Structure 1
Amino acid sequence: MFKSVFKTSLVALGLGFALGAQAATDVTYLLPAPPNSPAFAPWIIAKEKGYYGQQNLNVTFIAAKGGVDVAKQIGAGNAMVGGAIGDTPIIVRANGIPVRDVAVLGAGGVTMIATDGDKKINSIKDLKGKTLTVMSYSDTTYYALLASLRKAGLDITDVNIQAAGPAGVWQLFSAKKSDAMAGVPDFVVNAEESGVNVQLIPQDQIFESMAQSIMASDDAIKNHPDVVRGVVQATLKGMRDIIADPKAAAATFVKAVPAYAGKEAMVEKTFKLYVEHVYANQAVLGKIDPVRLDNVRQFYVNEGIVSRESKLDDLYTNQFIETTTATQ
């Protein structure tokens, strides 16, 4: 009888482990570009180090066609969560797409405008008549570029903007087929590595758009808060790893993305740009600053970049960013 009870207990224990293993929730996370870029390192590191698993989530990354497309797909119910730039809900909410930011990865803006130092382009105003590359016309860096032009008194008709894709945006610039590019720090480092004498337009001339964000649909926030919270908590742990030790984080990233094997120094250089320009000075990792978001909203509306002003409270929530230890 003892043997029978023991065997029954083992079977029950085994079933318990099996059910526990099966209990992880499958989550599709939409990214604005292919998930093999250092721009998405917080997410890639979070998955590589098992942070999503610790939240009982099985996350799969799928690339969309820019941040606005991510928002549209989430709003249509094709995914609960995805990534873009913090500005994105301002752009899409005006068109009735029910998404909002649930975390923003840094206190700085992620959009940089790089020029060829040999061409003596020192300001936004110097871009008049020039050719610029962006990833796509549906990526939020494009809208941040438009806002930067408006801030300098220029219009879209004053420049030639070409959508070149996540690789072409810096490759055309590196091949001197464009005079400047607007994009994320990854593209800047790629251009530098290809031999371009890269010069960055001073940050005070760039429109103060926001860092990368995690977005969720209103439905997911209401009906699946545990999923949203788990994604936020895990991703912020990946971000914290980069801030704490860019070199070690680069090694983790390269392990997850073998295509970068031998390029650890380049990845580390990219991470340091993020830490310095994007992640820096965020007192609580992930927390959205409503004042900054409101300033961005007002500028987009006043300049006619978006046609309708959405309510500020409809654009974000910090309910998943509770304390300074939220990423523990």
Structure 2
Amino acid sequence: MAGINRRDFTKLTFGAVLATGLAAPAIVKARTPINMILNWRYQGPQSWFFLAQDRGYFEEEGIAVTMDQGSGSGAAVTQVAGGAYDVGFGDINALTQLRAQRDEDTPLGVYMLYNRPPFTVGVLSSSDIHTPQDLEGRLLGGAPNDGALRLFPAFASITELDTSTIDITNFQPNLREQMLRSGQVDGVFGFVNTIRFSALLSGMNPDEDIRFIRYGDYGMDLYSNALIASRALINDHPEAVRGLVRAVNRGLIDTLADPDAGIAAVAQREPLIDREVEKMRLMATLRDEMSHPEIADIGIGDISPQRFAEAIDIVVAANDLPRSPDVGEVFSRDFLPPEDERVRDLG
């Protein structure tokens, strides 16, 4: 070591470490945390979220997503708007109502999944209720945050129902099919496939026992559930929002390729699910709630601006809201995957 002082020796040693690739561990960039609220408890039509998580798609995008079960599509919107969650899978019509009544920034839809209206009033097939007008003078019920219940004023306006003759009671979501089956209410609010498969799990035959009065059959051509993101997340971490959408889009593609893998991912979160029923629920959701003809042109995730504007006007007029928000105040197309990566055929 003659002729080499301590400082020179330190330099040489550090240089040797670098040269042999034995430098200090590389700094791992922290992933952006995203807290997400789902529309409902864990079920088949959430497969794409769980596959995206299990297959590392969120991690690849530099995000760490925590998902909680929800209590309704409308509730997901208010929970994101209130700051409890960064992202929700919620009803875009509830977001329209919120935006129409607030001047300050509200969350934005960033990825549309349910492009056909699933909203309905379910009644017993044995009843004499066949049309919306037959609901007059009846007792209806639903969970307070149910999307169909929140949109009932719009449905009543379009179908010219006299709502002064209709009584509505609230109850917990898990009581819905029991309340209908026992005759404690004449009709229940909900998504068609939520009611259908919950009834199936309760021992009913929904195809024989339940008749659906669907909002979409009476001029309410609405969008429904979308990924919605808080303005704070959009403003502070726009790339995280893009990454989330890309990852969920990949999860959807994987679900379509292998529905059983999607159901297995749900079962990892909720082992007590009936896998056969949840697969049926998943396939029915793809068929009934995500298959609007427009997806052949624009793909799942996107919207038709003209159709969306008309949907906004329906919600605003029927609820006597103070104004009609512009499309861009409710939904942003800035975070969508490229057109060639969007699903255009559900098979």
TM-score by length of 1: 0.85
CA distance in 1, matches of 2:261, 2:70: 29
Residues 1:238 and 1:165: Cα distance change in structure 2 (over 3 Å): farther
Equivalent residues of 1:135, 1:166 under 8 A apart: yes
Note if 1:272 corresponds to 2:283.
yes
Residue in 2 that maps onto 1:214: 227
CA distance in 1, matches of 2:135, 2:211: 13
**SS of residue matched to 1:29:** strand
Note if 1:255 corresponds to 2:271.
no
Give aligned-pair identity as a percent: 21
Provide the aligned length of Structure 1 versus Structure 2: 319
CA distance in 1, matches of 2:77, 2:20: 50
Identify the match of residue 321 of structure 2 among 283, 293, 306. 306
Residue in 2 that maps onto 1:186: 194
Deviations 1:233-270 (A, max 9, x none): 2222333334444344223322332121xx11101110
Q: How does 1:161-240 map to 2 (within 5 A)?
A: 161-184=168-191, 185-196=193-204, 197-202=209-214, 203-205=216-218, 207-240=220-253
Identify the match of residue 108 of structure 1 among 116, 138, 146. 116
Note if 1:143 corresponds to 2:150.
yes
CA distance in 2, matches of 1:200, 1:142: 14
Residue in 2 that maps onto 1:53: 59
**SS of residue matched to 2:265:** helix
Residues 1:175 and 1:247: Cα distance change in structure 2 (over 3 Å): farther
Equivalent residues of 2:158, 2:318 under 8 A apart: no
What residue identity is the alignment partner of 2:308?
L
Residues 1:116 and 1:27: Cα distance change in structure 2 (over 3 Å): same
Deviations 1:107-150 (A, max 9, x none): 212323322111142222222222323222x4433223332222
**SS of residue matched to 1:79:** coil
Residues 1:211 and 1:71: Cα distance change in structure 2 (over 3 Å): closer
Unaligned runs of 5+ in 2: 1-12
- Segment drifting more, 317-326 vs 82-91: 317-326
Deviations 1:10-54 (A, max 9, x none): 463xx22xx43x6222111123444x2334333233323333222
How large is the RMSD of aligned CA atoms in angstroms? Answer: 2.9
- Segment drifting more, 127-136 vs 101-110: 127-136
Equivalent residues of 2:147, 2:190 under 8 A apart: no
- Give 1:7 deviation, angstroms: 11
Unaligned runs of 5+ in 1: none
Identify the match of residue 71 of structure 1 among 64, 67, 77. 77
CA distance in 2, matches of 1:256, 1:64: 14
- Give 1:64 deviation, angstroms: 5.5
Residues 1:290 and 1:119: Cα distance change in structure 2 (over 3 Å): same
Equivalent residues of 2:117, 2:289 under 8 A apart: yes
Equivalent residues of 1:192, 1:198 under 8 A apart: no
- Segment drifting more, 197-206 vs 85-94: 197-206
Equivalent residues of 1:28, 1:61 under 8 A apart: yes
- Give 1:65 deviation, angstroms: 5.0
Equivalent residues of 1:144, 1:207 under 8 A apart: no
What residue identity is the alignment partner of 1:128?
E
Equivalent residues of 1:144, 1:209 under 8 A apart: no
**SS of residue matched to 2:17:** helix
CA distance in 1, matches of 2:45, 2:321: 26
